[in-house]
Amino acid sequence: MKSLASPLRFALALAAAFILTLALAIHAASAQAIPAAPAPQAPTSQPPAAAPGPITPNNLGPVPLAPPADPLPQANPKLFTAASPTLATVNSFLHKVWGYDSSRIYRVMAIEPTTAPNVTRVVVFVTTHAADAKVQAATFFVTPDGKHAIGEGSVIVPFGATPFADVRDLLRDRADGAFRGAPSKDLELVEFADLQCPHCKEAQPVMNQIVQDFPKAHVVFQLFPLVDIHSSALKAAAYGICAQQHSNDAFFQFADGVFDTQDGLTPATDDTLLKAAAKRAGLDADAIASCAGSPATLAHVNADIKLAEDAGIDQTPTLVVNGRPLPLTGIPYDTLKQLIQFQATLDGVDSGATAATLAPQPPPPTLNNLPN
């Protein structure tokens, strides 16, 4: 669900708007960003001795593999005329956003000034080594302060060598929702969600799996009621804050109860359903309702909304991984795991995930892939 309050889109939206289908991202540590050639393969056995004679394809022995052909044209130095940002900064930015996907290849082709004062145009070519891959061009503009990029479709995203650092610091300081997992915030995953949002309800099994797969993550449920869209979202958030004051477990039990009866929430029924969810969580329903109506609780809800807006969140559910925002809908779980682990590796922290956990999993059975 999208909020009507915030104009910002971010990280993964950048990829979607900039390049290909991108629900996702690319690797770059240098201007060339072309994978190293595979190492020559050692023979599995010694070739048989052969009598002297003409050289033929059968007696050449193992032949080292040639480096893969470079599928991208070389950049023209004459197109790098802007003073800022530097090529190193652009490459660092692209690596942070796209580096999780080692199959992609890209090259920065131009960093040029525009007619708008201090606004820089950046052009990137991107492809893969797949036989049928096509080269795509992505263009974005860097703002004069060097802190934002504007992509196709007017998408605005954080820019710089470390584009997610500011949001990571912001959430470390101010995200105060109920949490599961590790107490340490070295790997902090903040889910922004609305208790009346249907997509948030659908995302909860994914969040439960994340908590299991990344045991060293600090996983926060941060309330973000979309008050312009959902008539009972603000009241549900207020009840949730009061439930959290008892314990994290009480909050999550309450949230489960709200999601279970979410379809029935209306201004005429919400108190009844929210009290029932509080009672199901083992709480005093009347006391929670009284707490939810207090000025202090309303101020807390408004602070939660302000935090989401300050972090650039404009849709629920959104998962922010150490400052890196990811939509929780439309991304395959294997890719989501890959992104979480990549961000943890970038930040030098242990996610607690095992190799078996991170390995791609087969798709769930369907009528088309059931065994005979």
What pLDDT was estimated at residue 152? 83
Supply the DSSP string of 294-331, one letter for each residue.
SHHHHHHHHHHHHHHHHTT--BSSEEEETTEEEESSSS
Mean local confidence (pLDDT), 106-122 = 97
357 exposed, middle or buried (CB, 10 Å; 0-12, 13-18, 19+)? Answer: middle
What pLDDT was estimated at residue 59? 56
- Rounded distance between C-alpha atoms, residue 334 and residue 40, angstroms: 31
- Rounded distance between C-alpha atoms, residue 27 and residue 25, angstroms: 8
User: Virtual CA dihedral for 5, 93, 332, 262, nearest 10 degrees?
Assistant: -20
The sheet carrying 136-142 orders its strands as 104-113, 120-128, 136-142, 148-150, 156-158
Chain centroid, CA 358 distance in Å: 16
What pLDDT was estimated at residue 12? 40
What pLDDT was estimated at residue 118? 96
User: Virtual CA dihedral for 15, 19, 20, 22, nearest 10 degrees?
Assistant: -10
What pLDDT was estimated at residue 130? 87
What pLDDT was estimated at residue 70? 84
Q: What tens digit of pLDDT does each residue of 128-138 get?
A: 988 889 999 99
Task: Indicate the pLDDT class of residue 102, thresholds 50, 70 and 90.
Answer: confident
What pLDDT was estimated at residue 54? 56
What pLDDT was estimated at residue 39? 37
What pLDDT was estimated at residue 248? 98
More confident position, 270 or 365:
270
Q: What tens digit of pLDDT does each residue of 219-236 get?
A: 999 999 999 999 999 999
Distances (CA, A) of 83 to 78, 124, 210: 13, 17, 43
Chain centroid, CA 72 distance in Å: 27
Radius of gyration of the chain (CA): 25
- Rounded distance between C-alpha atoms, residue 128 and residue 103, angstroms: 6
- Rounded distance between C-alpha atoms, residue 30 and residue 121, angstroms: 19
What pLDDT was estimated at residue 211? 98
Q: What tens digit of pLDDT does each residue of 324-341 get?
A: 999 998 899 999 999 999
Mean local confidence (pLDDT), 192-213 = 97
CATH architecture of the domain 166-358 equals: 3-Layer(aba) Sandwich (3.40)
Alpha-carbon torsion 187, 193, 199, 201, what sign?
Answer: positive
What pLDDT was estimated at residue 246? 97
Residue 139 has pLDDT above 70, yes or no: yes
Q: What tens digit of pLDDT does each residue of 144-189 get?
A: 999 999 998 888 999 999 999 999 999 999 999 999 999 999 999 9
Q: Which of 153, 209, 19 is nearest to 97 (CA)?
A: 19
What pLDDT was estimated at residue 18? 38
Q: Please report how many Cα atoms fall inside a 13 Å half-sphere around the Cα of residue 355, on the Cβ side.
A: 0
Q: What percent of the chain has pLDDT over 90?
A: 74
Mean local confidence (pLDDT), 74-90 = 97
Q: For 40-49, 107-116, 117-126, 259-268, which range has the lowest pLDDT when averaged over its residues? A: 40-49
Q: For 9-18, 60-69, 357-366, which range has the lowest pLDDT when averaged over its residues? A: 9-18
| Residue 2: strand, helix, or coil | strand
Task: Indicate the pLDDT class of residue 205, thresholds 50, 70 and 90.
Answer: very high
Neighbours of 157 (CB within 10 A): 24
Strand 218-223 with 188-193, pairing = parallel
Residue 40 has pLDDT above 80, yes or no: no
- Rounded distance between C-alpha atoms, residue 301 and residue 149, angstroms: 31
- Rounded distance between C-alpha atoms, residue 96 and residue 27, angstroms: 8
What pLDDT was estimated at residue 362? 76
**Token output for 287:** 């006391």
Task: Indicate the pLDDT class of residue 253, thresholds 50, 70 and 90.
Answer: very high
- Rounded distance between C-alpha atoms, residue 286 and residue 50, angstroms: 92
The residue ranges of every structural domain in the chain are 11-32+70-160, 166-358
